[in-house]
Structure 1
């Protein structure tokens, strides 16, 4: 459809080039004479007047609508009438069955600002702000859903954003409790390499604020642990207005939470652990430095390069973000922490232990000695059980191992490998269920003092020669460890990053099976040794000791001594 600008342009051209009259121009272009006169007067068509639709059916209900809007002046913000609610009330309480929703909506849209102006209510206006480099930051939590170990799980994303450059740090935790709040700050400070010099903006999180004191501006009663944390790192907190009124005061981080969630966490990430997800998030945070915020000409990385040098330095001593708890160990060698259970060594059963409950892990101490460390359990009533904590008990109760929770979790996590399974099966075939299980436990105890790959190499060597004992595994594991340490030293450290299987080339010394050597082809060379051609040992000479002496000759002590001596000499000769 031809626009009015085009019609005006052609009218003006025909009048200028051909000198046509107003009547002829109107006939040629199919418009009225007033339109031709307007076109000859100015090139830009005048704006069309908006069409005012008459709504005669609404007149009878305008008073009722105004009454509802006046009531909203005293109502809470989230409980004021919407146009749809007003339309429903008109139909239900005033019999307005013939009104359309659009008619009521248009009237409410026009009338509400007029009533606000009558009472002197000024609409909220946002004033643009400038943020000095290195001076301010904003913090917030946002909900995210993660497919964690095959289960759809609700988690919480901590977001820290520098107000000037827009550089942001994100971490996902199973909770938004204070330990996650503090740990997120520490990770952010360490990642950006400093601390804002003026303040960090927050809403009124319960992790920081115990009580909002209304009528006193921004005065708050703060959590004492939070005050200690701020004092340790040397920064101030700025608390936004409560509720939706204060959302714009940290709008940068509010928008950052949504941007990061839409960009990197849609669709839901599928991971085995939150540690794996946070490793990926660290990479995403670095990649996001190449983006531009809004209409800025410089990237986040370029602005952050300037801002980094203006941040305050971080204190050398790291603050412990975990809550300190003192649960007692039950008879199953478990402690109960925040609706989840964690195993500890069996020797501390019945005694209290000291626990650091962190956002992503649980660390257990006996006195000042760390005795257990677990990833934090996300699900309620879940368990994290370490097989190593039960080895001493299982050595006395080997029958409890096959059906134990500790073994099931060790298999699921990959700690209990196929090599362990093969050793256990071979040991049970040789020594029976109880004896074979004890041999396996002795092998598992080697993991406390040796690397897992060395122990597995020892297991493999022991299975190869058919000597399924913990002693053989230990000897071969130490041999494997020593061999590759010497290779690393000979390479001057250049081989430390290579796979151990690629470092060692050529024949490897191992335990020699005497049975295999005895039964092998004499011409074959096993383990670098010649075939054994010696005759089998015999005890026939010692059988003379079992014979009774001749009764015709009295046995004297000298005779008996001579007989025993002769038999011994023959036995040693054979």
Structure 2
């Protein structure tokens, strides 16, 4: 089917070449003579007129509907007329029995906007292009993403921080969009990009920052005290967009970044073991995106960021603690309760209050200014995290509580309590008895606080080899192995460590408590041969002969006197 432009062109050509009249041209092309005259008058077809469709059933009631909509200009927002209410009033007050809901709804939708415009309550949707100076502005938002973590599909939140001039963005995925994730994302972005915008950062009205939107047209907000402290610490100002969908275009750069990054890097859903692994991958993707050129930009993201980086304000010397600060009390089980989950702390803190910094992936427990515990944050309500090391001093006085303790079960599950520990414990109880043998194990576990795990395990294995199952022997051997590992790490001369070089195990341990062993002869047989020569007292005989020679000499002084 030919267009009207083509039809006009053909009519004009036939009239020009063949000299046909209006009637003949109309007959040839099957159009009205009026169309032929329009084509001969102008090569451009006239615009089609929209028919002014009438609503014979609605027309008598349009004035009444307009009056109701005008009364809404001064009414509270939640008490304005809906299309359903307007139809009900027309039926009750004007006997409008033949009107349908869809007819009233379509008219109200169009007419309400027109009345708002006439009253100055609304402006036509329009956008004014904005210019962003380098180093001055940034935008922040959260986006919902799904990640397969250890085989489980998990809903997460992606924090996005984007510099407005260059488009350089930092993305981090967190379990939630709570305030600790909000602050941690800012700190990571500031440190990654090497500075802070000098003018402001644009935000939605996030609950992590805003407690209430204060009406009055000047974008005033009631802000969270911790958010105010964070802004003051890093020295930047916030700019809040209009509430709802109306303010989305005011930070359109980061809104578009959420969708672009999700489609290009998180589709299909990434499969990882942890969010830390995913965030490490994201850092690589961000580096690759430096070569991307955003539509409407002359340079790539990396080139514009290089020009913008030096114009950012410097970071403060100290680092803000992004965690939510809590002060729980330690119960009788040496546990604290944080967000319905339990975490262990050292037993000597029972009954005291501690300070907790709750962060997105972990929590840190302080006693004053000293860090006493660090635990991964758990999401399952009613869960618990127990560290065996926190109970060792208590178990020293109650060794019988160790075998069935939750702390020991957790240590076994995590791999911290190895098969070597179990073997030492069994051998120690066999030699020293249950109580003393368990105490020896606890002393060995205490060595982990000052020595590497590899060294302690090596010390246990050496002690088991020679049958000297005491904590003193494990300590001596663990320190020797720790020194060996340290020299090997520093590249020490291999000749100084012949045993490690030749991979030959030598039994050079002498127990300090051999009398406790049931078979001392077996232990003595394991000792290395003594190749030193037997001791001799021949040198002392020379002293005896010298003494005899001195005694046999005469006393000349007495002889002269006589």
Q: Report TM bin, short chain.
A: 0.7 to 0.9
- Name the TM-score, length of structure 1 as normaliser: 0.72
Distance in 1 (CA, whole Å) between partners of 2:82 and 2:73 is 13
Distance in 2 (CA, whole Å) between partners of 1:427 and 1:403 is 18
Determine helix, strand or coil for the equivalent of 2:73. coil
Supply the RMSD in Å over aligned alpha carbons.
Answer: 4.5
Query: Structure 1: where are the runs of 5+ without partners?
Result: 493-503, 520-526, 531-574
For the 8 Å contact 2:83–2:101, the answer to whether it is kept is no
Question: Which digits, 9 at most, give the CA deviation of each residue in 1:445-466, with x for residues without a partner?
Answer: 3322232344445556677888
Name the structure 2 match of 1:565. Answer: none
For the 8 Å contact 1:15–1:25, the answer to whether it is kept is yes
Distance in 2 (CA, whole Å) between partners of 1:22 and 1:460 is 112
Please report how far the alpha carbon of residue 373 of structure 1 lies from its aligned counterpart in structure 2 after TM superposition.
1.2
Please report how far the alpha carbon of residue 111 of structure 1 lies from its aligned counterpart in structure 2 after TM superposition.
2.1
2:505 is aligned, of 509, 520, 524, to: 509
Matches of residues 2-401 of structure 1 in structure 2 within 5 Å? Answer: 2-59=2-59, 61-63=61-63, 65-74=65-74, 99=100, 101=102, 103-104=103-104, 106-123=106-123, 125-142=126-143, 156-174=157-175, 176-205=177-206, 207-208=208-209, 214-215=215-216, 217-218=218-219, 223-241=224-242, 246-261=247-262, 263-264=264-265, 272-401=273-402
Determine helix, strand or coil for the equivalent of 2:329. coil
Residues 86, 234 of structure 1: alpha-carbon distance in 2 compared, 3 angstrom cutoff: same
Distance in 1 (CA, whole Å) between partners of 2:340 and 2:78 is 35
Number of aligned residues: 510
Determine helix, strand or coil for the equivalent of 2:239. strand
Distance in 2 (CA, whole Å) between partners of 1:423 and 1:88 is 86
Residues 431, 246 of structure 1: alpha-carbon distance in 2 compared, 3 angstrom cutoff: same
Residues 262, 104 of structure 1: alpha-carbon distance in 2 compared, 3 angstrom cutoff: farther
Please report how far the alpha carbon of residue 193 of structure 1 lies from its aligned counterpart in structure 2 after TM superposition.
0.3
Please report how far the alpha carbon of residue 484 of structure 1 lies from its aligned counterpart in structure 2 after TM superposition.
4.0
For the 8 Å contact 1:476–1:510, the answer to whether it is kept is no
Please report how far the alpha carbon of residue 308 of structure 1 lies from its aligned counterpart in structure 2 after TM superposition.
0.6
Distance in 2 (CA, whole Å) between partners of 1:86 and 1:289 is 56
Please report how far the alpha carbon of residue 179 of structure 1 lies from its aligned counterpart in structure 2 after TM superposition.
4.0
Please report how far the alpha carbon of residue 314 of structure 1 lies from its aligned counterpart in structure 2 after TM superposition.
1.1
Residues 127, 420 of structure 1: alpha-carbon distance in 2 compared, 3 angstrom cutoff: farther
Distance in 1 (CA, whole Å) between partners of 2:442 and 2:17 is 106
Name the structure 2 match of 1:562. Answer: none
Question: Which digits, 9 at most, give the CA deviation of each residue in 1:143-172, with x for residues without a partner?
Answer: 556566677666554432222222222334
Distance in 2 (CA, whole Å) between partners of 1:351 and 1:128 is 59
Residues 120, 513 of structure 1: alpha-carbon distance in 2 compared, 3 angstrom cutoff: closer
Please report how far the alpha carbon of residue 305 of structure 1 lies from its aligned counterpart in structure 2 after TM superposition.
1.3
Question: Which digits, 9 at most, give the CA deviation of each residue in 1:363-417, with x for residues without a partner?
Answer: 2233433211123333444322222212333445455445443344444544445
Determine helix, strand or coil for the equivalent of 2:490. helix
- Name the TM-score, length of structure 2 as normaliser: 0.73
Distance in 2 (CA, whole Å) between partners of 1:274 and 1:438 is 40
For the 8 Å contact 1:362–1:373, the answer to whether it is kept is yes
Distance in 1 (CA, whole Å) between partners of 2:84 and 2:196 is 48
For the 8 Å contact 1:57–1:99, the answer to whether it is kept is no
